[in-house]
Structure 1
Amino acid sequence: MSNWADLTNGKRIKHLRGSDLTQQGLADAAGVSLALVQKAEQDRGELSVGSLLRLANALKTDVAVILGQQAPRRGASRDTRAALRRLSDAVHDSALGDWNGIERPSSFVELSSAHDRVCAAYWRGDYGVFSELIAKVLLEGGSRYGQATGYEREQLGSLLANTYQFASSAAILLGQRDLAFSAITSARRLAKDSGDDVLAALLESTLSWIHLRSAKVPRAVAVAERAALHIEPSFSRASRPQLLAFGRLMTSAAVASSRRGDAASADDYLAQAHAAAARLGHDEALYGTHFGPTAAKTEAVGIAVALGNYGRALQLAAHTELPCSMPKLARNRYKLDVALAQCEAKLYDRAADTLTEVALDAPEWVKHQALPGVIGKRLAKVSTARVRNISELIGVPLIA
């Protein structure tokens, strides 16, 4: 596709509409005439502000995208764009205290159940369900939080903070950096008010990851290291939640260090993560964050890949078993690291098979990852036909 800003408004509307929505369908969804949609796509005449707003809402996007001021997420389906819109509205409306239409918010038990489903939807990459549940928890939970006191308020604060954390993680995965920072800011404020030190530490792990995805690598390391020092446990007396949070922060620092080529620091942080994992003894999850021996081993593979130690990465992968309990997205992120290592070792058929596994297992999630494109370019040197077949599975061209 040409540069988004270079397209006309009509071509942008047509692209956003896609093949799954007819012109009549867009007209019906926007509450405008078919003639208006046809004229808009043919760039005949100027669209009024009202028409632009109606079309943007029907296309589940923003007016700025139609006008070319912002580009849509590459490869995002209409469903994903709609999910992003719901996610953005939920984060911002709840932070602003917009409780319009919420007369009787759900009980804490009901909100807890919805939160558990938020966690499950996130880890399987179901952004449609995820965004709907996020909106329920943040808006209804925020309304109830404003009226609660005592222990109930503390419980709701932790619940909302963790929900904002998931919103932040999803936003950065989908390329929405500003939304991710907005959500994590709300999460940190609520966690501080609730007095939950472990949750606060886990939020810093997410913040470190946001900085890493934003190419702010030194800041990513500093955030994780600072939070780890704050919660660093005495291993003989540490609670399991403390060990989990400390281990996750150490892996965050190790990953960020590997991205700037600091092998010594990465190895040091990773050793501490392995120590925490060994102390835990088995994989655990807390506030939707997973850590244990499996996480320490799979992160070690990714770190070796980032440092260019592809042989070492494949050796580690050969001795790493993935339990059935491992979240789908974590499993597939690990497999992308393995596929890249296989490419660099000239194991092209195996790399293509691994990438295909990921594409079939998480087709929507993989569109928003950078590694498939990197792997695709390497595979194309051997077989462009194979890469094009994988591209069709993913729905995003891996090579030009």
Structure 2
Amino acid sequence: MSDWADLTTGKRIKHLRGSDLTQQGLADASGLSLALVQKAEQDRGELSVGSLLKLAHALNTDVAVILGQQAPRRGMDSGTRAAVRRLSDAVHDSALGVWDGAEEPSGLRELSTMHDRVCASYWRGDYEEFSRLVAKVLPEGRVRYGQAAGYERERLGSVLASTYQFASSAAILLGRRDLALSALTSARHLAENSGDEVLSALLESTLSWIYLRSARLSRAVAVAEQAALRIEPSFSRASRPQLLAYGRLMISAAVAASRGGNAASADDYLSQAHAAAARLGGDEALFGTHFGPTAANTEAVGIAVALGNHGRALRLAAHTELPPSMPKLARNRYKLDVALAQCAAGLHDQAGDTLIEVGLDAPEWVRHQALPGVIGKRLAKVSTTRVRRISEVIGVPLLA
């Protein structure tokens, strides 16, 4: 473990706050009470995920940094830091029209094939490969886009917008909010020009997620709800792309509402998502975004966990089947929710086994997630030895 990981959570918060920001200032900036900030810095009691999100936003950092899974600024390994640099260069250089290619840029067919590989590497959690592919598609694609006309320009716009969306999603996972917003700004502009209302709607689900990760929960709900209203289908006449986008946006709204503790709104949004999934009748993907019965069922588990309904979460999980086609990251994010519910229900051995499954299946991705640290702290109340062993197996520091 690094020196940063050896500190307690309270000491990390105090270090990040520094001498320029008082405890009252941190309370005001985060929207938490002064008493809660004081307890957090004194390591008295356990912080909820919602409070961790608010503190991370106020301290201009990521939850993983507060929990000791990443050190400030240089917490990533060299490969991930290089991936972030490539992503940043690709997003900004392409927006400025910079490309150093020695020949004509690739055409629509080649760029579309490369986009499919971007999607696949993202859902595997392979950020190094992902960043290399994005660094090819965006600068080269923007040059080709500027030369194209008619159908080719329209389709290239969609390919580029979707690639920028994936770059945005990866950036927020890696704790780079400004880069995520820059990429999404380019994506929205291209989607508007392409005239694809479904793609534009799907981009708003990513914006909602950025607000969620920034602890701006009411804004996250509003963005998803407003986008859903613009595309809301008549279920008897809706196209499948409309149903997919609408369902995904309802999931985004439900997740954000649940993080704010609004059970009634979360249930209402979730019921709309289930209705869209039932109408689809199966799992589908569009522009690399997945939705269908599997997504509705697995997200329902996470929403129940966020609302503190751990028994309900486990009952739902017991009746949820994960198809082989489910993307690796989506599958493992769901398993972290299950592990959290298992902890709350006293099923500590099962929770530890689930955490190991996730760590071995998605080793790079799991290092950038907050929940392993939360789960580790709860398991440590039963057995610190067990948690240290899990930490060694998955390569993630779980104990201070």
Shorter-normalised TM range? 0.7 to 0.9
Are 1:179 and 2:179 counterparts? yes
Are 1:218 and 2:205 counterparts? no
Matches within 5 A, 1:104-119: 104-119=104-119
Q: Deviations over 1:354-383 (max 9, x none)?
A: 000000000110000000000000000111
- Letter in structure 1 aligned against 2:340: L
Match in the other structure for 1:61: none
Contact 1:73 1:174 in 2 (8 A): no
Match in the other structure for 1:286: 286
Structure possessing the higher radius of gyration over alpha carbons:
1
Task: Give the 3-state SS of the residue equivalent to 2:237 in structure 1.
Answer: coil
Match in the other structure for 1:276: 276
Deviation at 1:3, TM superposition (A): 6.4
Match in the other structure for 2:317: 317
Which region of structure 1 is more displaced relative to structure 2, 76-85 or 290-299? Answer: 76-85
- Letter in structure 2 aligned against 1:161: A
* In 1, Cα distance between equivalents of 2:395 and 2:131: 22
Matches within 5 A, 1:356-375: 356-375=356-375
Matches within 5 A, 1:83-232: 83-232=83-232
* In 2, Cα distance between equivalents of 1:262 and 1:73: 36
CA RMSD of aligned residues (A): 1.3
Deviation at 1:2, TM superposition (A): 5.0
Contact 1:250 1:270 in 2 (8 A): yes
Match in the other structure for 1:390: 390
Match in the other structure for 2:326: 326
Q: Deviations over 1:372-400 (max 9, x none)?
A: 00000000011111111121233231111
- Letter in structure 1 aligned against 2:174: L
Structure 2 vs 1, CA of residues 178 and 194 (structure 1 numbering), >3 Å: closer, same or farther?
same
* In 2, Cα distance between equivalents of 1:285 and 1:116: 12
Which region of structure 1 is more displaced relative to structure 2, 81-90 or 102-111? Answer: 102-111
- Letter in structure 2 aligned against 1:72: R
Query: How many residues align structurally?
Result: 334
Structure 2 vs 1, CA of residues 343 and 243 (structure 1 numbering), >3 Å: closer, same or farther?
same
- Letter in structure 1 aligned against 2:311: G
Q: Which structure has more RCO (C-alpha within 8 Å, separation ≥ 6)? A: 2
Task: Give the 3-state SS of the residue equivalent to 1:368 in structure 2.
Answer: coil
Q: Deviations over 1:140-181 (max 9, x none)?
A: 101100111111110110000000000000000111111000
* In 2, Cα distance between equivalents of 1:112 and 1:245: 21
Among all aligned residue pairs of Structure 1 and Structure 2, give the percentage whose two residues are the same amino acid.
78
- Letter in structure 2 aligned against 1:86: R
* In 2, Cα distance between equivalents of 1:103 and 1:175: 35
Deviation at 1:72, TM superposition (A): 2.5
Task: Give the 3-state SS of the residue equivalent to 1:282 in structure 2.
Answer: coil
Deviation at 1:224, TM superposition (A): 0.1
Q: TM-score under structure 1 normalisation? A: 0.82
* In 2, Cα distance between equivalents of 1:174 and 1:211: 15
Q: TM-score under structure 2 normalisation? A: 0.82
Q: Deviations over 1:103-140 (max 9, x none)?
A: 31112111111100000000000111100100110011
Task: Give the 3-state SS of the residue equivalent to 1:137 in structure 2.
Answer: helix
* In 1, Cα distance between equivalents of 2:162 and 2:128: 19
- Letter in structure 2 aligned against 1:287: F
Task: Give the 3-state SS of the residue equivalent to 2:285 in structure 1.
Answer: strand
Deviation at 1:336, TM superposition (A): 0.1
- Letter in structure 2 aligned against 1:277: A
Task: Give the 3-state SS of the residue equivalent to 2:301 in structure 1.
Answer: helix
Deviation at 1:73, TM superposition (A): 5.2
Task: Give the 3-state SS of the residue equivalent to 1:397 in structure 2.
Answer: coil
- Letter in structure 1 aligned against 2:72: A
Task: Give the 3-state SS of the residue equivalent to 1:364 in structure 2.
Answer: helix
Match in the other structure for 1:71: 72
Task: Give the 3-state SS of the residue equivalent to 1:323 in structure 2.
Answer: coil
Question: What are structure 1's unaligned runs of at least 5 residues?
Answer: 5-69
Task: Give the 3-state SS of the residue equivalent to 2:360 in structure 1.
Answer: helix
Question: What are structure 2's unaligned runs of at least 5 residues?
Answer: 6-70
Task: Give the 3-state SS of the residue equivalent to 1:285 in structure 2.
Answer: strand
Match in the other structure for 2:298: 298
- Letter in structure 2 aligned against 1:286: L
Task: Give the 3-state SS of the residue equivalent to 1:290 in structure 2.
Answer: strand
Deviation at 1:102, TM superposition (A): 4.8
